[in-house]
Amino acid sequence: MKTVYNAGHAAHDAKHEFFRGRLVPAFETPQRAQYVLEALQRSGLGDIIAPRDHGLAALQRVHSAAYLRFLQGAWSEWLAQGGEGEAFPAVWPVRTLRSDVEPRNFTARLGLYSMDSGTPLTAGSWQAAYDGAQATLTAQALVAAGERSAYVLTRPPGHHAGADFFGGYCFVNNAAVAAQACIDQGARRVAILDVDYHHGNGTQAIFYARADVFFASLHGDPLTEYPFFLGHADEEGEGEGRGFNANFPLAAGSSNDAWFAALDAALARLRDYGPEMLIVSLGVDTYGGDPISHFALDEPEFARLGRELAALRRPTLFVQEGGYATEAIGRNVVAVLRGFEEGA
């Protein structure tokens, strides 16, 4: 299995984030990717290659033009208004306030295009996210050209980013960019399976009214777990997309047996759908030692996940999402990929 590695990820190097009302050291750091890279280099799983630049057009197929313009200029605007350190939003257009008019004030636009105060915007956020999308498109092209599978090693992650907002450490939705690229290249059915601890709200929202991309997610119950306001079991899609969205929320602390029962149910839906390509939003924050999540998977379970994904017998693209137990993330990712190779 080839890995496409976004070496530019370290441009996004946040030092702090807000967590439970306090400014704490950032959980989403360059060390996450470094540990995965080192584990891959030891694993012998396959070549690690650099991405090529596919341009901005594929991102514009998923994200609004105004949002992408904002991301590209945000850091310069932050500095121009006297900002110091990482940029965090301070105001949001909640119910009864208008979000259809873009304010001129940068502070207001920072809130307009964000969903939380826990996602620091840094000097290199845009470049790292852009490069991550290019790595994803490079890997997608490999699978579309006949590779059985490929893995994208990048950060920041992407699945919380919507068409016109960032949050949950995510700025560009890599899985959505890859799915849309498949459709634009002629695929009629693509599936995204999100196994991150946190629901991929951005991915769901992007494809919620569409039948050409099936989104399935198993995750912590949004009644108690981030992102809180999406990911319930009754969200099945709308319009043409009705029936093509499937959520499997699980209570914090759920057993591994419960997690794999949800996985089996999700895989059954994907088999019925019959996608031409499977995209896996690969979060390994389901690990029992993750500092901000509450499931209990470990290496044997991650290897089992890989084997069960391989049993679908579909061209498969893995895109890195969460996983914040830094020293364990490499071995957990490798376990999934090795399990997939063994199963294939």
Report pLDDT digits (tens) over 35-53: 999 999 999 999 999 999 9
CB 14 within 8 A of CB 86: yes
Report yes or no on 299 lying in a domain: yes
SS3 state of residue 50:
coil
Report yes or no on 74 lying in a domain: yes
Report yes or no on 244 lying in a domain: yes
Angle between helices 256-273 and 299-310 (to 10 degrees): 10
Total domains present in the chain: 1
Q: What is the mean pLDDT of the chain?
A: 98
**Torsion sign (Cα): 223, 229, 231, 235:** positive
Report yes or no on 107 lying in a domain: no
Report yes or no on 155 lying in a domain: yes
Report pLDDT digits (tens) over 317-339: 999 999 999 999 999 999 999 99
Q: Is the peptide bond before 227 cis (omega within 30 degrees of 0)?
A: yes
Degrees, nearest 5: CA angle 339-300-7: 60
Q: What is the percent of the chain where pLDDT is above 90?
A: 98
Q: How many residues does the chain have?
A: 344
Q: What is the pLDDT of residue 280?
A: 99
Report yes or no on 263 lying in a domain: yes
Burial of 69 (0-12, 13-18, 19+ CB in 10 A): exposed
The CATH number given to whatever domain includes residue 298 is 3.40.800.20
Question: Which of the following is catalytic: 9, 54, 159, 160?
Answer: 160
The verdict on whether 294 is a catalytic residue reads no
Rounded to an integer, the average pLDDT of 223-230 is: 98
Check whether 19 has a pLDDT greater than 90: no
Report yes or no on 261 lying in a domain: yes
Report yes or no on 108 lying in a domain: no
Domain range for 66: 2-82+122-343
